[in-house]
Structure formats: structure tokens, C-alpha cells
Amino acid sequence: MAPSPTGPLHIGTARTSLYNYLAARHVGGTYVLRIEDTDVARSTVEYERDIIDNLHWLGISWDEGPQVAGGEDVGTYGPYRQSQRMDRYAREADRLLASGAAYRCYCTAEELDAVRRAQDAAKEPPRYNGRCRSLGEEERAAFEAEGRRAAVRFAVPPEKIRFTDLIRGEVEFDNALLGDFVIVRADGMPLYHFVVVVDDEAMEISHVIRGEDHLSNTPKHIALIRALGYREPVFGHVPLILNADRSKMSKRKSQTSVTAYREQGYLPEAMVNFLAFLGWSPGTEEEVFTLDELAARFEVGKVHKAGAVFDAERLDHLNGLYIRALADEQLAHRLRPFVPDALDDASLLRVVPLIRERLVRLSDAGELVAFLVETDAEVAANYEAAALIPKKADAAGAAAALSRARSVLADLDHADFSAEVLEERCRGAAEALGWKAGDFFRPIRLAVTGRAISPPLFGSMELLGRDATLARLDAAAEKLAVTA
């Protein structure tokens, strides 16, 4: 996870992780999770847990790396947290210094800021001016006598870097435009560009698949690889995920954390399919795949170069497909965290067939089933008396409709209080009054559920039971009487 676990797992990082997983599984390779936590101030066990737990929720597993936050590593190339690999980084930094490929830089933050401001005023690209690159021994000694602590800068060779990207094909950068960059801070903490190169070599990484935002970092990494005498891995840079207006998906403008989607009730299977298609296509009209099926089809070279637009409606569509494909028992199990605790498991299982078609997200269920656990008073408080009156009726007419409904339902005993019988009775009552069925059902629905939108009315009444249904019809009639 690059550059470090500095917050909840981002939807873009999850997609990149999925592509790594699919690419590795497609060719029978090894998928490695490395926690790149050298930014100590911003890296926490909680963020690491969020990354690992959400990847596991998506069904993504890895062959090497930490399996639980703060836990032991699996694999022979560990440790897999960069904060535990400092000795190796120090040795490789010393090797670069000894070879002349890196040097100590004593510039203060104020001096560097002054250089940046001067370059900005001159409309020059910002880069280090090389001040410390050719310091003599006496100058270094003087700086150290002042108490200055030195960072380590890599001396970037002024050469063109060419490489073949798995997704973008031939890419070229001119490193002469880069300027020398810091690889170890003055406090001794190594930086991402350096440690990732050291670790890729040490862990025998053959393929690096990462976000397009790292494309401009690759020439730095290749220059370091060559200076250290390492072999060069194959790079692939995945396009960014975009908002509907084609701006970069960011926390400021979008919901970006995987946890937020989990909490809304998106299924991991739907999220995996959605993410897989954000920049890749199997070339068919199919849209529902298991992880194994995706791995069998996925080829990283067929990932699109252009940014992929995050289509929330498509995610909702996929989620609905997966919800409706679940067996009643499976859906009830998935819904358990999203419905009131007061709704027992047996009642939840009974209501599942009624609400399945109305669910886009699992979190939709809470509102749909609330009437089953609310008190009669709570249900009545959810609507105003005026809402009980259909458009072409008045309070007296609505009261008459509720009275007729109650009378035909009160004749039924508990055993006959079934959805089929209830519908037959109510339709007959509507016809006898000369009302359209929809107009007749509206006040009944509000009275029984407290909502204008609910699960199928007569199934809801059956689940609620005879006594509660009649009591709620009475409560509605009382509201209308007060209004009149």
C-alpha cells in the first residue's frame, strides 16, 4: 500500500489492489501486501487495520505480508512493514553515498523555500538547485559545526529514462528536468521513493501495478534502481478514477472510503465487480463475475489508458442484482446489522421476501421494516392526518374508507389473516365504495406502516398481525376525527 496507510482505504487504492490480485492470480504469481509506513506521524495501527479488514471484506487475499493489523507476517521476505526495515535502508543509503550517487545536503527549510520562491518568480520549474552537490570537506564541516543535520539527496543523472509500461506502452521522461531529490530526511527517516526501490529488490518483486499518479515517480525509481545495480521490475500504471464531471475522485468531492460503502450496505461481491470494470472490460456483455472468474479473464495489458468515471447508478444496479440473487436465509444474515435489534431473526426471515425487490443497499431495510418494531403511537406519529386523504377525497371520505376497511378485516380471525385474503377483502371494499384500489389502499398503508412507501401492503399486514393492524387503523381514524 503506497505511500502509507494514512487513512481509510480509498476506493482507488482498493481498485489498484484488486488489479494486483487479479494479475497475480491470472498468471499463478505471488501477490504481496507491503505496508509502507515510513511516515510515522500519519501511520497508525487503526489505519492498517482498516486496509487489511476492507481488503479481506472484498475477498482479496495475499500470499505474503501481514494478515491482521499489528500481527505477524506470512512470507519469507519480511518484515513487510517498512518501519521494521530501517537497517537495510541505512546500508543502501551508505552505499549510494560511498559511490557518489548520493550526497549530504545541509540546506535549511528556509533556504529551500527561498530557492522555490525565486524559481517561481522567474517562472522556472521548481527543483533543487544543486547547492550542496559539490561541497568540499571544509564546507561540510562548517555546516556541521553550526549544528545543521544533513539529509541525503540522490544525484539524479541527467539522462532520458525510457520504459515499457504494461498499460501505456512506451514512456519517456527527461530526468535532467527533475533535480536531485531527498531519499533520507535529516532526522534519518528514509522516504518513499527510496525505500520502495530497496524493498522491491529485496522482495524480488517482478511487477509493480500502481496508480497513474505514480507515473511521474517511475523515472526517479528507475534512476535509483540503476544506481544501486538492481534489476528493473515491470511497471504498470492504472488510470485514475474520476467523478462524473471527469475531475479526480477525491475526499473533498466524493465518498471515497471503502468503509463508507460497507456501512451503506453495498455487498463486497457487487463492489468487486464494479471496481474491476472501472478501467477494464472482459470484452463481453456479462456483468456478474466471481473473483475466480475475474482472475481467469483479467489481463493487465487490457486495462484502459483513459480515466474511469465512477458511476454510482451502476454500482447501485449491481448491488441490487446481487441482493436479489441471495437466498432468503443469506439475505437475512446480511441484513442483520442494518435492521433494528428488536426485530427477531424469525420475523426478519419472514419479511425478506417482501423487501428484497425494494432494496438497493442493505441499509434501505431499516426504514422498510421499522413498522414491525415500532409502537402504534410511534407509527401514528410518522404521518399527518391530511396525508390519509387521497387527492379526490375529503376527510369524511377517508374516514369512511378506513371504517369500511376495518370492518371487513375485523371479521377475519387470526388464522385467516393472510395476504391473499386481506387483498381480496380490501379490493372488494374499495369496489363497494366506488374507490380506485390505489386510493383506497393509501390511507391503509399509512395507518399500518406510518409511511407512504412500504413493503407490499398485504404481506406487511399479515406479518404485523390482526390485532396490531386493527389498532393502527383505529389510531388513523382518531387522527381524522380530530381533523374533522
List of residues 6+ apart from 118 with CB closer than 8 A: none
What is the Cβ-side half-sphere exposure of residue 377, based on CA atoms within 13 angstroms?
Answer: 0
What is the Cβ-side half-sphere exposure of residue 171, based on CA atoms within 13 angstroms?
Answer: 21
CA-CA distance, 365 to 363, in Å (whole number)?
5
Q: How far is CA 271 from the centre of its chain?
A: 8
Query: Helix H segments across 186-238?
Result: 192-202, 218-228
Query: Helix H segments across 230-327?
Result: 258-264, 268-276, 291-297, 312-325
Calculate the CA dihedral of residues 312, 314, 319, 325 and round it to 10 degrees: 170
Which is the catalytic residue, given 160, 251, 253, 436? 251
Q: Which three cell numbers stand for residue 158?
A: 541527467
Query: Which pairs count as long-range contacts for 333-336, CB under 8 Å and 24+ apart, including other chains?
Result: 334/267, 334/362, 335/362, 335/365
CA-CA distance, 395 to 359, in Å (whole number)?
33
To 10 degrees, what angle do helices 192-202 and 218-228 make? 60
Instruction: Judge whether 251 counts as a catalytic residue.
Output: yes
Number of helices (H), then strands (E), belonging to the chain: the values are: 20, 11
Q: Which three cell numbers stand for residue 68?
A: 491482521
Q: Which three cell numbers stand for residue 164?
A: 515499457
- The amino acid occupying position 55 is L
Per the CB < 8 A criterion, the answer to whether 476 and 443 are in contact is yes
- Alpha-carbon distances of 101 from 95, 137, 145, 150, 158, rounded to whole Å: 9, 17, 25, 16, 12
* Cis previous bond, 455, omega within 30: no
Q: Beta partners for 170?
A: 164
Per the CB < 8 A criterion, the answer to whether 249 and 300 are in contact is no
Per the CB < 8 A criterion, the answer to whether 130 and 177 are in contact is no
Question: Minimal CA–CA distance to 189: which of 148, 140, 147, 152?
Answer: 152
CA-CA distance, 389 to 397, in Å (whole number)?
8
Residues labelled as active-site residues: 251
